């Protein structure tokens, strides 16, 4: 009878371990089953990324609808290229959607905010967002401010 109790305790211990791992995966690291669903990739060209990195959020009206998967420099035109995966639930992004690099809070992380347009056609796999707005670079802003002040 004592071995049975002991085996039960060990079994419960191991089940606790598995539950902990699942909780870590779902609750803490936020892997959710809906993310496994279909996605499609679109591209956008930016003058300046200002610290946007891979895995940054892509959101529309504050709702996360995708992630940045790749960031690289186009060596012909010397502009930054951002590739992002959008969940296929959001398959109705119009071709004149605009993208802007925004900051969460004053010192927070960079993310991409999309604003939908009014076109009839939708972006498909590999589509390119034409209307983009670069990140705000604080130094440039201050420079502009000083320049304007000097002109007055």
Partner 1 sequence: MEGIIDKLLNQIQKLGQFGLERLQALGRAGVFLFASIPWGGPGSAGFKDLIKQIYSIGVRSLSIILVAGFFVGMVLGLQGYTILSDFGSEAALGTMVSLTLLRELGPVVTALLFAGRAGSALTAEIGLMKATEQISAMEMMGVDPLKRIITPRLWAGFIAMPILALLFSLVGIWGGAYVGINMLGVDEGAYWGNMQASVEFYDDVIKGLIKSLVFGLVVTWIAVYQGFDSMPTSEGISKATTQTVVVASLAVLGLDFVLTAIMLGSI
Residues making contact with partner 1 (CB under 8 A): 3, 6-7, 9-10, 13-14, 16-17, 20-21, 23-25, 27-31, 57, 105-108
Extended strands (E) in 8-148: 39-46, 57-60, 63-74, 79-87, 98-103, 110-115, 128-129, 131-133
109 phi and psi angles, rounded to 5 deg: -75, 160
CA–CA distance, 1 with 141 (Å, rounded to integer): 76
Q: Which one, 11 or 143, has the nearer CB to partner 1? A: 11
Q: Which one, 25 or 146, has the nearer CB to partner 1? A: 25
The DSSP bridge partners found for residue 114 are 60, 99
Q: Which one, 77 or 108, has the nearer CB to partner 1? A: 108
How far, CA to CA in Å, does 143 sit from each of 100, 148, 150? Answer: 21, 9, 11
Q: Minimum distance from CB of 117 to partner 1 (Å)?
A: 28
Q: Which one, 6 or 146, has the nearer CB to partner 1? A: 6
Q: Minimum distance from CB of 17 to partner 1 (Å)?
A: 3
Q: Minimum distance from CB of 109 to partner 1 (Å)?
A: 8
């Amino acid at each position: 009878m004592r071995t049975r109790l002991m085996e039960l305790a060990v079994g419960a211990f191991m089940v606790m371990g598995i539950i902990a791992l699942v909780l870590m995966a779902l609750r803490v690291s936020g892997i959710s089953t809906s993310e496994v669903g279909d996605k499609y990739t679109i591209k956008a060209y930016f003058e300046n990324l200002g610290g946007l990195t891979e895995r940054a959020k892509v959101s529309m009206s504050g709702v996360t609808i995708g992630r940045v998967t790749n960031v690289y420099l186009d060596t012909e035109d010397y502009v930054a290229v951002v590739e992002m995966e959008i969940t296929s639930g959001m398959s109705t992004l119009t071709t004149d959607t605009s993208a802007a690099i925004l900051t969460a809070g004053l010192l927070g992380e960079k993310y991409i905010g999309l604003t939908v347009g009014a076109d009839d056609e939708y972006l498909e796999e590999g589509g390119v967002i034409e209307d983009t707005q670069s990140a705000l670079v604080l130094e440039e802003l201050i420079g502009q401010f000083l320049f304007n002040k000097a002109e007055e």
